[in-house]
Structure 1
Amino acid sequence: MKKNNNINSPNRKGFTLVELITVISIVAVMAAMIVPNLLKLIEKANNTRDANEAKDLGKLIMSMAALDDDLNLYNPWSTNLDPDGTSSWGYIYVGKDDVRTSSKQMMQMLIDNGYVKEDAAIRRRGGDVPGEGEQQVYKKDTTLMCHSNHNWVAYEIHFRIMPDGNLDISYCATKASTNNLADADADEKATKLFCKFAAGHTDEFAIEHANHNY
């Protein structure tokens, strides 16, 4: 008779508890190494996307200025650049939940180029001059929004006619320490990083004004 050597042998089809714990530990260590790098790559891709969209908007503004001698740059907020108290600069603000412009003209440019829906629910807010106000568009009505989550959470394209007649495009970015972006000023570090991605220059006035508010 043949002796059955498998009667008392242990079942080796599964993992032992020690082997299972070892495998889980190895997977956890690998995840801890990979996930932070993956998040950094995702953030960098979002940073690049924001910067490219900002550059495209800058080109649109330049084209608009070349075709329109009556470019309306009016900024409805109280912070002015000129000694006579008038404002000669405008902006496009791109946040997580809304897009804002300094004039109807700029908002119409976004609508004409597909950044904002034709029938978008535009809200007016603020402004120092009767009949003028900042416009706001919620993200459900726009394809334009800030994609970054860490290095900045909102950015602005500023445009201003210089004394020599040229149109200057500059940028600033916000890395909010508050949940309410309306209460957050431009952040110098975030702005410099944004300008690096966009290959542009900082709006020094916006940064100086923000620093004075601290």
Structure 2
Amino acid sequence: MERLEYLFNLKILCFFILVIPFNKVSAQSAQDSILAAKYLKKAESLLAEKKLERSVIYFKKALDVELKIYGQNHEKTIIYYDRIGLIYKNIGQHEIALDYFKTFLNLAIKRYGRYHFYAGYGFLNIGVTYKNLFQYDLALENYEKSLITFQHLRKKDMICFIYNNIGIVFTKKGENTKAIEYYNKSIKISVTLFGKNYI
């Protein structure tokens, strides 16, 4: 009887040894989630006020906390790379934006595959950034990859947008015949989707 009681007490002790650290980790995770949510709310508030430089600081703080909770391959953390990249693009820090967009793209492809919306969007943002850096051949290369993804997904609105962007790059390169070809492709889809009076 004493032996059974001893084994029972040992099991209880082992249970508490296993459960208590788990609860501490869980409590820490909950605290981290609250902290990340506060950082995110502050970042979005600053973004709404168009205080981009301050906003990006809080997005990065939120990302750091979310990375501790979820790791780099979680959807929650993947999205941060795109949002931070967009802010850097909008404040004209295109090289930094490019790093964030490339990370976003690589993580998106790893998690969702090459033909997911996020992959197409990642290629698109990289293309726009290369265009802003006057690296037109790299911009076209990424627009083409984005186009392939959105054609696979049959996202005509995105295809229309990319055709227009390709036209812009050809215009900047002085290749007006190619530019007009892509503008016409964009117009054709726009008319089909939105009508002749669409902006």
What's the TM-score, normalizing by structure 1?
A: 0.27
Name the structure with the higher strand share. Answer: 1
Name the structure with the higher helix share. Answer: 2
More relative contact order in 1 or in 2 (CA 8 Å, sep 6+)? 1
Q: Which has the larger radius of gyration?
A: 1
